[in-house]
Amino acid sequence: MKVKILGLQPGTVTPGMTNEEYMEKQIAFMEETVAKEKPYVVAFPEMMTGIYFGMLREKKWFQYAEDFLTGPTTTRMLEEAKKLNIHIVYSLFEKAEEEGRTVYYNSMGIVSPVRGVIGKYRKIHIPGGDLRYNPVYEKYYFASGKELPVFELDNGVKIAMLICYDRSFPEVWRAYYLQGAQIIVAATCTMGLRADMFVCELQTRALESHSFVVALNRAGDEQIENEPEPRHHFGKSLIANPLGNLVNAPLSDEGWQYVCSELDMDEVVYARGRLNWQRDRHPEVYGIISDENLAPKGLIFEKGF
């Protein structure tokens, strides 16, 4: 079976542009590229609903959080999925009520033109902590998700999602591999030092998980009020195959580009037969990986602010 997937690399939120205007620009870009490429699946990068605010710690940004099912983003994605007859993988700042308290997540969803909302994923690995090395305040805004779900498209192909920092944890990819994921969408909003490792890291993850990896990032300079200087999102959106080879050359750091390819699921079967990770695993010796009491000595791991 073959699945044509279109991954969007939007530009940044420019000075004076509202979050609503940014969303409308992305939707127009999606409609234009869908008309040209006619994909089965369209995927967006992380935090597509507006400007990236993770570099500062300010309460005002919580006003943009929304209910996953009834909020404006999922509502609009459902409309577009039906209108364009496509699946859409998208992202949003989620507000949820759990056990009498409000909890916020960095989330992704997937919708079908026939089945409606298929499911959601909540980012598990949240950056921040020691601000000397990683000056990001995402832990201030987001709780960690607790599940690694794999979903089926209308044609039965298995797809999974992860968000930005998640990509650096091989355990996530192995969990998806063991559940049979054939396509993994890595939605990012990344910048800075991650540029040098972005492509090779994702190629390695594609090989490790024997899946097609569709990695998406925004591109260009962006700056919010009170942010000391603009940050540069380096783009490099790409598609890698189940043996870790690039299907499309990584995009440049210019916005409003896209990657698109018809992915043959027989390549997943071939990769898993050629290098049978599942057959040759020894999970009985991997217990140290899930032991939360073990960590390199001398390092401090902060769980939040």
User: Please, what are the domains in the chain?
Assistant: 2-280 (3.60.110.10)
pLDDT in tens, 170-188: 999 999 999 999 999 999 9
- Closest Cα partner for 39 from 2, 4, 8, 7? 4
pLDDT in single tens digits along all 305 residues of the chain: 999 999 999 999 999 999 999 999 999 999 999 999 999 999 999 999 999 999 999 999 999 999 999 999 999 999 999 999 999 999 999 999 999 999 999 999 999 999 999 999 999 999 986 666 678 999 999 999 999 999 999 999 999 999 999 999 999 999 999 999 999 999 999 998 789 999 999 999 999 999 999 999 999 999 999 999 999 999 999 999 999 999 999 999 999 999 999 999 999 999 999 999 999 999 999 999 888 887 665 444 444 43
Taking the complete model, does pTM exceed 0.75, yes or no?
yes
Do β-strands 101-112 and 116-122 pair in parallel, antiparallel, or remain unpaired? antiparallel
